[in-house]
Amino acid sequence: MVHNKRALEGESENCSVKAIKRTHLDSTNLLPNPQGGQINDHGSSDFTRRISIIKEEEESPFDDQDGQLKLNPLQELSVMPHIWAQSRQEVCESFEWFRSYQSGVYFANNVTKGYLLSGFPAKRDGFFHCGKLIISHGGGKAESVQQSKGQMKLRLADDQKAEDKSVRALLTNYRQQIPLVLLVDDRYALFPYNLGGKNITYAVLGVYTITHTWAEYEITKSGEKHVRFKFSFQWCEEQDVRTYHPYNITETYQNCHRPGLADRKCSHCEMPSPLIFSVGWVCLNATCNHFWHLPGAGDNLIPDELNFHESFLQLRPLAPLDNGFRDINPPQPVTKPSDKITTLQSFTRGMHCKRCGRLSCRSKWEHWECAHCHNVLAIIGTIRPVRDLRGLQPTVNFEWYFVGKNSGMYFATYNGTSSYFRRGKIHHIQHNSRGPRDLARLDTLFEEYQKQAADGRLPFRRWPLRSVVRGVLLTNYFSQNFFPQHHSEIHADRYQYVGGTANTLSWEEAPTAVVDAKNFIEERTKQALNNRNSQDFLFNEVLSAAYMEKQKMSGDILVMDGTGVQQYYEHMVEPTNFRIAATARLIDSDRK
């Protein structure tokens, strides 16, 4: 749903429509603005300005023959939206109605749950009645410019079809009259408010019902003609109005609740289509030979410049809203579960702050914290003993000793260890379970990690990743790194910890659980490689990570000897449940 941004050229505050069209020779789009005017072309990339048409009252809102363009600033938000976020991840982890990181349409079981309005609208998209009626295109396949191998390439458009997944899900909502949630981001050109002025990237508009859907032809910038599906979304009056802060939601439209003109069946395909455009009724069935033709007009398509029929833009009565859609505010996280287990997958979800409305990811192990106002929800749980996890089986079957024939790795076994040559060595150290003393030592270490993470002595955090999505993208797991401060320049040059050097703590700050883990790793490594120099077993960095239920982790106890192992191989297992891992390294600028 995000379209290419093309800035309007020219500095004049008052410029004619013809001047805009001369600037963009392929510019024929007429887009409605929130006041019922129109926007020529795709709008401006400067989101502090919007284009509106100054017109006589009797003129059609889509008639631009004598109109003049005026650049107006966005309206500032007087209050914060009740549900908002700064990153896509915050929305996906905290708001069950929209969990799509890429697509603008989020659906499950062929039913659309959320729809994101973003970027520059397509032709004949609209924002009417202060957002109570929104017309938008959905389903992808639009012409766009994408970056590939450092070069910008034009991705050609393609026809949308009713069986396309996103379109099919939206059609299901329309046919069964299932409401859905609309969201908007700060790039949506038809939104009249300055979200960026409040550092808001995403805001929830509320619950809408699809009142009409139809297919139409769209002429792309490259001159191609493609089928696009359009949807009209109408605001549901019975919902919790707090989600719709910027508007005067007390206004009613009872005088406008008039049904549109009745649908008419096409004499060729016998499929009904509504009267949408003032030019007259046309068949809107994309599979019909008379699609986009006026009856009796022969082979000529209808004009590309179209006005909506007045009756089509009127709000209409909707079916009563089911209770499940009346309040879409995310529930508060369970901070004190009855079983006191706080490492399940549900505890990886975000929170909706009741004070400021911000959606926030859970970035700290010890509690939920609003990223805006720092409102804290404390987590009250218990330490998970090893006996609760020992009997769980892996989700996939694997053999630790198996090496694939086509892996290109050379396998050898000596002294009970396994090594892969040429690109470093991997020593696999199996768990020592010969006696209760060894087990008790590891069990105690596992529980100490949990205790010190819960009280904040071990500051487990989810750190930002480098990503292509908008806003901050945090890791799925919690981690903390400890490394000598006087070696920080070596660490920054040779090893990229996800939290960065600035978030790496010194050994003086390391809690006892991390120190004990380092001692244990050094001891076991020395036992396995007893023919080596003792200095090889003195590690100076420990990365500790905690993985909740269904999160992937680096697994098994391995000694990876040589930089080639890190450069050429990856290792990963998916644990069945909660795990904590400690990785020790010896970082030496002179070591190869």
pLDDT tens, the chain, 592 aa long: 333 333 322 323 322 222 222 222 233 323 333 333 333 333 333 333 333 332 333 233 333 333 333 335 789 998 899 999 999 999 999 999 999 998 999 999 999 999 999 987 888 999 999 999 999 987 654 555 555 555 555 444 567 778 789 999 999 999 999 999 999 999 999 999 999 999 999 999 999 999 999 999 887 777 778 888 999 999 999 897 665 545 544 444 444 444 445 689 999 999 999 999 999 999 999 999 999 999 988 888 898 889 999 999 999 999 999 999 999 999 999 999 999 999 888 899 999 999 999 999 999 999 999 999 999 999 999 998 888 777 666 555 555 555 666 656 555 555 555 554 556 666 666 665 555 666 788 889 999 999 999 999 999 999 998 766 678 899 989 999 998 765 555 444 455 566 667 778 888 899 999 999 999 888 888 877 765 666 666 788 899 999 888 665 544 455 666 666 666 666 555 555 688 888 888 776 665 5
Backbone phi and psi for residue 359, each to the nearest 5 degrees, phi listed first: -85, 130
Q: What is the DSSP string of 251-309?
A: ---GGG----PPPEE-TTT--EE---BTT---B--TTSTTBTB-TT-TTPBPPSS--B-
Tokens of 370: 């609003």
Q: Kindly list the distances between the CA atom of residue 503 and the CA atoms of 206, 415, 452, 500, in Å, as whole numbers in the listed order.
A: 38, 40, 18, 6
CA dist 36 and 318 (Å) reads 23
Q: What is the DSSP string of 326-380?
A: H--PPPPP-SS-TT----SGGGGS-EE-TTT-BEE---BSSEEE-TTT--EEE--
Which pLDDT belongs to residue 304? 85
Determine contact, residues 381/341, Cβ cutoff 8 Å.
yes
Backbone phi and psi for residue 89, each to the nearest 5 degrees, phi listed first: -65, -40
Which pLDDT belongs to residue 516? 93
| Residue 102, SS3 per DSSP | coil
Which pLDDT belongs to residue 246? 52
Tokens of 564: 């080639």
Determine contact, residues 183/204, Cβ cutoff 8 Å.
yes
Helix spans in 429-544 (H)? 436-454, 488-494, 512-528
- The domain ranges of the chain are 259-313, 331-382, 397-585
Which residue shows structure tokens 């969990």? 99
